[in-house]
Homo-oligomer: A and B are copies of this chain.
Amino acid sequence: MKEKGILFILSGPSGVGKGTVRKSLFEKDTNLKYSISMTTRKMREGEKDGIDYFFRTHEEFEKMIDENKLLEHANFVGNYYGTPREYVERTLEDGYDVFLEIEVQGAMQVKENFPAGVFIFLIPPSLEELKNRIMLRGTETSDLIRDRLNEAKKEIEMMDAYDYIVVNDDVDHAVTKVEAIVKSEHCKRERIAKQFKKLLEVD
């Protein structure tokens, strides 16, 4: 019995460095497959259907939305982008982990449609710095402190939907942590024990 793969979702505020971390991660780990998105935008020179994107018409895409065949989708400047559920599920069944790098709104949609995913929130080191700053200094005006706390609170509210939080203080550090999360998730008792149990129920 082949172990089923796990869907990992890397998300976080824009500008935090999700792409850099993902790129660096893919230079290392080989059991991860990057989730291929579906889009209605025109294919560019050199791009291939099913490799760079799944290219679809507006009508086809909207039909998939109606039939709930996307884990998430969004519309940017008139074109749809989304994550097809079938490709993700097939890849997981084949025993690969699927890695999805996505902005926060999309991640929340995936959370709803695929709660079994492992959600990793990448945060900028400035939040850490902010934390330290608020703690160590007592000199700022209470208005400024309040603004910063509110901002931090918003971040934290988003965090609550995630399983892990990784501070991107350094790309190598962050990648090592994501790798550790991937490895340790495969050791989770719920996953492995289920395999054993499934097996034992057979006879």
Contact = CB atoms under 8 A, between A and B. Distances in A.
A177 B186 CA distance: 9
Given A152-B200, A200-B153, A203-B145, A187 B193 contact: no
Contacts of A199: 131, 134-135
Nearest to A166: B187
Contacts of A162: 189
Contacts of A77: none
A170 interface: no
Given A131-B199, A153-B200, A156-B200, A193 B165 contact: yes
A192 interface: yes
A160 interface: yes
Contact of A188 (B135, B149, B164): B164
Interface in A62-110: none
A134 B1 CA distance: 11
Interface of A: 1, 120-121, 127, 131, 134-135, 145-146, 149, 152-153, 156, 159-160, 162-166, 176-177, 179-181, 183-185, 187-189, 192-193, 195-197, 199-200, 203
17 contacts: A131-B199, A134-B199, A145-B203, A152-B196, A152-B200, A153-B200, A156-B196, A162-B189, A163-B188, A163-B189, A164-B187, A164-B188, A165-B187, A165-B188, A180-B181, A181-B184, A184-B185
